[in-house]
């Protein structure tokens, strides 16, 4: 009778006790085998496709470890536990190549859920952290839209019209959606074309989406 080996996770912590406790908990409540580690050398971590980092270290040191690990092995899954609490720092972890983040006050079920989600190849974290991140990204997007409008001279309303044009809506459909006249929509489109220096609605749409 053949047995199928369970996927292994390296659990890297500052102390052996913390590494062993977390590793035992994960193994007991999931389909993963675990290997507790206190050695952060890349040659040791290279043996694993999934790595959980629970380190008492400064953010820059952990970011460097995540970058070095994911650069050498782009498909590795790296999850960071309890290092930071701000949305900006969690975003830095994602940009460095981390596949998940678990806050220090997370439960074991939270840990298992993030491990499971990170296996799908997407950045994973508890729902409350996800909400904060999306709020932060929305703020950044609004700021970028504002900067775009200031530079190009396109107004917020004109940007809204072009977003609806991009959905292949007619001028009448856009007018109904925005509760304005069809004539007003035509004027908005004309102004955008003039400000961008183009003669086609499709070109204008691509321009506003790229900027």
More confident site: 210 or 205: 205
Q: Within the chain, which residue ranges are assigned CATH 3.40.50.2300?
A: 8-125
Q: Which one, of 115, 110, 195, lies nearest residue 158 by Cα?
A: 195
Q: Within the chain, which residue ranges are assigned CATH 1.10.10.10?
A: 153-210
Q: Taking the model in full, what pTM does it have?
A: 0.59
User: How far from 26 is each of 23, 59, 119, CA to CA, in Å?
Assistant: 5, 25, 15
Q: Which CATH architecture has domain 153-210?
A: Orthogonal Bundle (1.10)
* Average confidence (pLDDT) over 144-163: 66
Poorest-pLDDT segment among 87-101, 143-157, 168-182, 183-197: 143-157
Predicted confidence band at 10 (pLDDT cuts at 50, 70, 90)? very high
* Average confidence (pLDDT) over 97-109: 86
Predicted confidence band at 3 (pLDDT cuts at 50, 70, 90)? very low
Which superfamily, per CATH, for 8-125?
Response regulator (3.40.50.2300)
Q: Supply the pLDDT for residue 143.
A: 56
């Amino acid at each position: 009778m053949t047995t199928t080996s369970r996927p292994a996770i390296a659990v890297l912590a500052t102390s052996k006790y913390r590494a062993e406790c977390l590793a035992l908990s994960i193994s007991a409540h999931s389909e993963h085998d675990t290997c507790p580690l206190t050695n952060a050398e890349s040659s040791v971590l290279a043996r694993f496709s999934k790595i959980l980092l629970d380190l008492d270290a400064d953010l820059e040191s952990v970011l460097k470890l995540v970058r070095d690990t994911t650069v050498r092995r782009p498909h590795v899954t790296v999850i960071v536990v309890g290092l930071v609490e701000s949305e900006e720092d969690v975003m830095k972890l994602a940009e460095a190549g981390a596949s998940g983040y678990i806050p220090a006050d997370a439960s074991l079920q939270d840990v298992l859920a993030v491990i499971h989600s990170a296996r799908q190849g997407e950045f994973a974290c508890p729902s409350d952290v996800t909400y904060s991140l999306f709020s932060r990204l929305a703020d950044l997007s609004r700021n970028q839209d504002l900067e775009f409008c200031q530079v190009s001279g396109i107004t917020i309303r004109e940007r809204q019209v072009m977003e609806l044009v991009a959905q292949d809506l007619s001028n009448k459909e856009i007018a109904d959606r925005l509760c304005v006249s069809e004539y007003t929509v035509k004027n908005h489109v004309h102004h955008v074309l003039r400000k961008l220096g183009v003669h086609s609605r499709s070109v204008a749409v691509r321009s506003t989406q790229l900027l």
